[in-house]
Structure 1
Amino acid sequence: MEKNILDEGKQFLITYLKDKSMDYETIHPWRNSWEFVVLHSFRVEGYVKKILEKEYHDLTNDEILLTRLAAVLHDVGRIHKREGHALISKEIVCNWLESNKEIRENIEEKHRLLTLVEKHSNKEEHEDDYCLQVLRDADVLDEIGVMSIFMCSNWLDRSNPYFFNQLQDRIENFEIGFCEDGYKLLNTQTAKLILDEKATFVTNFNNRLKDELFGTEIFGQISIDGYLNNNVY
């Protein structure tokens, strides 16, 4: 397989998605845009590359390119529907291959590519295919870490004077646990090490924020008026 197949895949992804939009996202508005799918897919492909560069494996160059191509194309169907988007993505990729003879002939394991795309969402299902394990791991890693803190803040009212207290509470009681739950879904040692670094960052951020909020903890639980009413002498 020639390396430029990745550029072909990226070009197809952009061309197919351009100017389309999603109408089911409400918490994170940037996810409604077609660019979100492109950027997410490019980041997942980047994680695949990072994992495979650090893992001990016996994949051929073609298998590496196939896994990276699957990462580029895995979410193309998400623009239409979130639930069941993997099957939609598979159909779109299949049609792309059918309509492009040169690209189709450049990919020996076309069925495997379609399988990777189709099965990437089933994170809790055991899979022996190492390429699929890597793809799933890369998909899990995206948006955890710095991004997850920004996403966490979107669930809160930023005009609320207790915003930072609520953010610290949500990070401590949800986001850190979310990172820990991610370990259960990962297959490769490298992905686990990457998640270790992300979880450490989130924990350190939480501790720093908690320290800066020292003395205001009670106001994260009750209103100032309530505090005054309960402490009138």
Structure 2
Amino acid sequence: MKKLLILLAGAILLLPAFAFAGNPSPWPPIGTEVEVFQLEGDAWRSLGIGDPGAFARAFTSLPAVGDSNRQFWRIDFQNHASVAQWVRWSITGTRWDWFVRKPGCYAADCIGFTIASNYDVDILYAGFDDLLYQGTGGVTLTIPVWYATWNLGTPPPPASDEWIPAALMNGKDILIPDSEQLHQGLSAKLWNKICVQQSNSACEYEDDAVVVIELKRIKPWIDPETGYFRPLQ
């Protein structure tokens, strides 16, 4: 192990380089919690002690003492940081509203979304389907729907494989791997296409769906429900 020679009060301390072997920090942590300060602009702001919603917490442990006439003392130190996975995302809208005067096929760039994270992220889809007639009676009770992830300012070609029928979205598991681009943030547009037929009765049509973002590396000291620190006890 690489050693650093430091002159301290006329004695020589042999210090190993900080080791980062990848061993996880224990939780609950051993030792004593100490106050953490976060840099905001050019000033330090206290994060206090014991706050489960704090951005960072720190603990000190393994005290050591010495008392003898030895010439050299070797004191091993370790500095370890356990970094949680985070995600930051935004969606320009979670609802589409079509107002259709005449039958036909229509497409629109309905939403944009961005996502950033510091590790792999899964995107899961459920509940997608054609729009369902909301009244009683009616003739053709559904309006076919397709979706496409497409970053251009005009829709994909009508027959393009980019258009995915709504029901085929269900069960899709899109893994976004850890990368520099993901850390900085990825953006995309979700296009929506509907085909209103002459046989669709005048009424309201609707479908409700769910998109789930899953973080793939949750630390044992993070509460997966709240995203805050787990209790110390």
The answer to which structure has the higher strand fraction is 2
Shorter chain as denominator, the TM-score bin is under 0.3
Tell me the TM-score normalized by structure 1: 0.21
The answer to which structure has the higher helix fraction is 1
Greater C-alpha radius of gyration: 2
Tell me the TM-score normalized by structure 2: 0.21
